[in-house]
Structure 1
Amino acid sequence: MPTTLSFAPTIPALLHGSRAVLVVAAANVLTGELPAFLPAPAQALLAELARDTKPGELGAVSGTLTGLPEPRRLLLGVLPDHGSRYNSPSRAESVRRVVAAADLGGSKAGIIVILPDPAHLLATINAVGRALPLYSSKSGATSGAEVQILALDPAGQPIPVPPEVESTMHATRIAALHVDTPPTELNPEEFAARARELLTAIPRVELREIVGDALLQEGLAGIHAVGRCAVKPPRMLIAQYTPAAGGGRSIALVGKGITYDTGGLSLKISGAMNTMKGDLGGAAAVLGAFCVLAANHCKHKLSLVLCIAENAVGPGAYKPDDILRLHSGKTVEINNTDAEGRLLLADGVSYAARALGAEIVFDAATLTGAQMISTGLLHAAVVSNDESLEQTIIAAGKHCGDLVHPLPFAPEFYKQEFESNIADMVNSVKNRMNAQSACAAQFVYWHMDDTKALWCHIDLAGPSFPKNRGTGFGVALLSETVRRIA
């Protein structure tokens, strides 16, 4: 059974029944005048651990037995005092690391985070949730721990956890669960069903699903082609939320939901197919963000567009040399069936801007392996046609701990990479050394560049699935960004 997370209102409530307690704080907080919030023997041990534990650059964990019944074990996660300007001020990644490294056991436990700045609450709580994933298929596993979380200010007073912070943590864990679930269990039909279950629980949300050959009737030939030979047909799931008060902007969240990517007829080489269950990370992120925003009464009109397919191999598979006319009306000559995600997103962003009338379109995808070369495993790459929107998402990422870094938006430099003799474009670049991730983003934007919509693309291939485990990256990023839009 997975670890369950909830929030304790007070220290006594957290300590009651807890066999282990983890305290997480920056080194300078622990070496200062620490408030006495634990029983005296445990408080003395905490001070001793704080003296002996050095955080290094990314945090460290130590622990000891207390000789008390509650808590029997005391653990300390020490965070570095500062990070670089490209890090989150909350040092969310260090929080995740120390929580993941702490052995909380299989019974009731508590996590106390001491925050000198209440603005760090969202990033810290989300990092705690990310460190304790939901999915496990290990045999003989006992029931998971029941973990309560409590945030304290430097004076030892509880910091209230707003509903949007709590729902972001839970939605992030669910997004990671979707990424971790084996692909035969989470095929396109099942992924859509799980999404519908989450969405139907939220008031003021309307759903529509376009499945199989019906995609062609709507001009969604990219999604159809990629998924048409899989056992479960491809689909587009659309959810729309209308705020009770009206007003706000019209914003769409579009996600690439490839439930498994063999590469299609451009079959991935040995070893490269492993972990491709994670190719739905973008769709998992936008689904989670939409749920957080709609459930917490977002002021904007929101649309969710999940482009879902399995890129399988079979007699009906789409082929190199095929030409597809996508929703935008533009034609694409296929030169690589493993560059499939951009076909889904091209249909998705075009549908969002044209059919749904979105003023602002975000798309999220595990789109390119080159993203990891460009910005690494902890920063997603973003590309936007609007500088203000780009700056908004960068600031939101630093605030919530889902870090991003911009890549160039330069259509005049990148369109040439997609030249075709017989169609408007090919789907994969000629020169893989020419800003490959930015080029892939440009392909997507090309299918909505004649609309007036603002656009931001998030390539989260690294952060969504950095070490063979889903993280739910993007849920906090997108929900925080949308909240910041006036």
Structure 2
Amino acid sequence: MLQTLIRPLMLAAFLALVSAPADARRELRFDAYAVPASGTIALAVAEGDDPGAVFAEIDAANAGALRRAVAAAAFQGKPNTQLDLPGIGRYDRVLLVGIGSGPVTPRVLEDVGGAVGQMAARSPAERIELLWAGTEPDAAAHLAFGADLGQYRFDTYRMPPTDMPVTGQGDLVIRTPAGAAAAERYRAQWQPVAEAVRFARDLVTEPGNVLYPEAFVERTRAAFRGVPGVSIEVLDVPAMQELGMGGILSVGQGSARPPRLLLVRYDGGTRGEPPLAFVGKGITFDTGGVSLKPNDGMWRMKTDMGGAAAVTGAVLALAARRAPVNAVAVAALAENMPSGMAARPGDVVRTAAGRTFEITSTDAEGRMVLVDALWYVQRQYRPRVVIDVATLTGAVVTALGDDYAGLFSRDDALAAQLTAAGEASGEAVWRLPLHPSYARDIQSPIADVRHSGGRGAGAGIGAHFIGTWVDEGVSWAHLDIAGMAWFEDSIQPTVPPGATAFGVRLLDRFVRDVHE
């Protein structure tokens, strides 16, 4: 009898937990430019003798209190600096964000907004106002975009605090002379990207017991529901078996959660024009399989589907903002678990392309799921560009840390375009070589190739292996984002600690700059 009572209670508690809002956030609003008489405000401050017209106006209205506080704190408005001042003049709080003395680019504006967004997420103030005297609608839109990214937080599994004030709720107002034009620009072009980043961050943050291949598919269906020009295809295990997708099936066979291949197609461009293909590694949890990872840090392996989240989020951004392109996101989804059914080192796997590879470590599973996904999208859609995104190797983290994703490509023009998009979006990439010697490193005595090899150049060898499944003549790039998917600390104003959704903004910027 007791069990019959407990089970419904446990189920109700679980449903209440998973149905909680993923985050509390402020409503972003736009209003006419004016200096508020009181409250919590934020503004950008230039470096040098002239900190800006907004600064001067606020300082004059408060009998020089702002300038005295800045002098006392030796704040100079240098880039990436902030000064948080409580109780200045008639204001509860004033946040100053340094922008330096260089050009005020969209990146600079987004970082200002991000800094304000992060402050707003921690503040109990009901209303926070970011002042910008410039008249350009795009400038204010970029401020709002940064603020939306910066205020991200994930509270699904937290109990509401009872002994502390509620934070991060209310309004975040951009006060600008651009007014309605800025609001329209933001809502049409940048809010969809911010929402796509939020979607991808939520996916990466979810624990592995909640987000598994089938759950990823359902979350994606929900996110795209009602978005025009979108079609979704899902391959289950029987469909993949019929196609001979031994790579993804071998990774998923050790788990009770079956793998899935998810394709989201968006047709917003010229009818019949080949799409851009974005292919993502989607290991919803990675134990390493039989080649078991050490316990230290394994909890973070829920993020091993960051590539799949990024490419799906990127196409969500394109579709929601009605980008004039055709694009397809492919998420190769599996859970890598050890069991009596799991693949073993030394096994030989036949892929859908007919080529075989010898497994050297079941912990190099990302490339195993990607090769079948790459084969399928090339056969089905004949894409004009293929970019795969994966948390692939620890070697790239050793090489580049958490400052850059690794970029590998046989196409110099594509590599240059992605590098430029990375600079513009704030998601930087660094090109690494695809040396011909990597082919020798993956020679196998019993299969077409080994799926890894050698002690050096692990990131390059992984990229080379993946690239052998890309048809000659196809413009292809591989992004290894292993160091960029999760930040323990806040490294960038627009990226709070936790899941970054690295790749969503990069791919959106690449499409804007090159294909629109």
Question: Structure 1 length normalisation: TM-score?
Answer: 0.87
Give the superposition deviation at 1:277: 0.9
**Cα distance 1:67–1:123, how it changes in 2: closer, same or farther (>3 A)?**
closer
Q: Based on CA coordinates, which of the two structures has the bigger radius of gyration?
A: 2
Q: Return the letter of the residue paired with 2:486.
A: F
CA contact (8 A) 1:259 1:308 kept: yes
CA contact (8 A) 1:66 1:74 kept: yes
* Partner deviation per Cα, 1:268-307 (whole Å, 9 max, x = no partner): 0120312111111111111111011112222222111111
Aligned residues: 475
Alignment partner of 1:76 is 2:100: no
Whole-Å Cα distance in 1 between the matches of residues 248 and 143 of structure 2?
Answer: 37
Farther-moved stretch of structure 1 (461-470 vs 228-237): 461-470
Which residue of the other structure, out of 479, 484, 488, is the alignment partner of 1:463?
484
Q: Secondary structure at the match of 1:213?
A: helix
Which residue of the other structure, out of 440, 450, 466, is the alignment partner of 1:444?
466
* Partner deviation per Cα, 1:148-203 (whole Å, 9 max, x = no partner): 252758x9998453322111112112211111111111121111110111123211
Which residue of the other structure, out of 369, 373, 376, is the alignment partner of 1:344?
369
Whole-Å Cα distance in 1 between the matches of residues 199 and 508 of structure 2?
Answer: 15
Which residue of the other structure, out of 189, 193, 203, is the alignment partner of 2:214?
189
Q: Secondary structure at the match of 1:139?
A: coil
Farther-moved stretch of structure 1 (262-271 vs 55-64): 55-64
Whole-Å Cα distance in 2 between the matches of residues 373 and 103 of structure 1?
Answer: 33
* Partner deviation per Cα, 1:209-246 (whole Å, 9 max, x = no partner): 11123212123221111112222210011111222653
Give the superposition deviation at 1:318: 1.1
1:216 matched residue in structure 2:
241
Alignment partner of 1:478 is 2:478: no
Give the superposition deviation at 1:74: 2.1
CA contact (8 A) 2:438 2:464 kept: yes
CA contact (8 A) 2:65 2:89 kept: no
Whole-Å Cα distance in 1 between the matches of residues 299 and 351 of structure 2?
Answer: 29
1:236 matched residue in structure 2:
261
> Where does the alignment leave 5 or more consecutive residues of structure 2 unmatched?
1-20, 489-496
Q: Secondary structure at the match of 1:263?
A: coil
Cα-Cα RMSD: 3.3
CA contact (8 A) 1:171 1:289 kept: yes
Alignment partner of 1:109 is 2:133: no
Q: Secondary structure at the match of 1:463?
A: coil
Whole-Å Cα distance in 2 between the matches of residues 59 and 33 of structure 1?
Answer: 19
Q: Return the letter of the residue paired with 1:420.
A: S
CA contact (8 A) 1:255 1:345 kept: yes
2:380 matched residue in structure 1:
355
Whole-Å Cα distance in 2 between the matches of residues 93 and 75 of structure 1?
Answer: 14
Whole-Å Cα distance in 1 between the matches of residues 379 and 206 of structure 2?
Answer: 33
* Partner deviation per Cα, 1:285-338 (whole Å, 9 max, x = no partner): 111110111122222221111111111121111111111111222111011111
Alignment partner of 1:60 is 2:93: no
2:7 matched residue in structure 1:
none
Q: Return the letter of the residue paired with 1:7.
A: L
Give the superposition deviation at 1:392: 0.8
Which residue of the other structure, out of 419, 422, 429, is the alignment partner of 2:453?
429
Which residue of the other structure, out of 155, 159, 162, is the alignment partner of 1:139?
159
**Cα distance 1:146–1:98, how it changes in 2: closer, same or farther (>3 A)?**
closer
Question: Structure 2 length normalisation: TM-score?
Answer: 0.82
CA contact (8 A) 2:140 2:174 kept: no
The correspondence of residues 89-168 of structure 1 with structure 2, limited to 5 A, is 90=108, 96=114, 99-100=117-118, 104-110=122-128, 112=130, 114=132, 125-136=144-155, 137-141=157-161, 142=166, 144-150=168-174, 152=176, 159-160=182-183, 161-162=185-186, 163-168=188-193
Whole-Å Cα distance in 1 between the matches of residues 256 and 272 of structure 2?
Answer: 42
Whole-Å Cα distance in 2 between the matches of residues 461 and 151 of structure 1?
Answer: 38
Whole-Å Cα distance in 1 between the matches of residues 40 and 408 of structure 2?
Answer: 44
The correspondence of residues 263-282 of structure 1 with structure 2, limited to 5 A, is 263-282=288-307
**Cα distance 1:402–1:452, how it changes in 2: closer, same or farther (>3 A)?**
same
2:351 matched residue in structure 1:
326
Which residue of the other structure, out of 18, 27, 30, is the alignment partner of 1:9?
30
The correspondence of residues 353-392 of structure 1 with structure 2, limited to 5 A, is 353-392=378-417
CA contact (8 A) 2:441 2:453 kept: yes
Give the superposition deviation at 1:133: 2.3
CA contact (8 A) 2:54 2:133 kept: no
